Amino acid sequence: MTTTTDLELLPACGRHGTMALRPLDRQTPEQRWCGVWYDCTDPWCRTATLLPSPELRRQLAEQAEAAAAREGAIRIDMSRSVTT
């Protein structure tokens, strides 16, 4: 059931306002896995918004953790002065 609170949280196009839920038959399997897509209702506007799925959020968090671990492993401490 949709409530007023739910409607206030729906994405909106910055120029045209209203966005509509993208029909599932206009989405690839990859897009459906990524989450819920909304498109601007103006036929000439190409604005779209993604509300990410829990799976996508989890994958992005894992990638960020892996990147942070790699950066930590090769971090160079430039705070020490070297004298010769």
Domain ranges of the chain: 8-73
Q: What is the three-class DSSP state of 26?
A: helix
Q: Which residues of 61-80 are buried (b: 16+ CB within 10 A; e: fewer)?
A: eeeeeeeeeeeeeeeeeeee
Q: What pairing do the DSSP bridges indicate for beta strands 48-52 and 35-40?
A: antiparallel
pLDDT in tens, 36-65: 999 999 999 999 999 999 999 999 999 988
pLDDT in tens, 10-34: 899 999 998 999 999 999 999 999 9
pLDDT of the residue at 82 = 46
pTM exceeds 0.85: no
Length in residues, the chain:
84
pLDDT of the residue at 58 = 93
Q: Identify the CA nearest to 13 among candidates 51, 48, 50, 37.
A: 48
Reported as a pLDDT band with limits 50, 70 and 90, residue 83 is: very low
pLDDT in tens, 60-82: 999 988 888 877 655 555 555 44
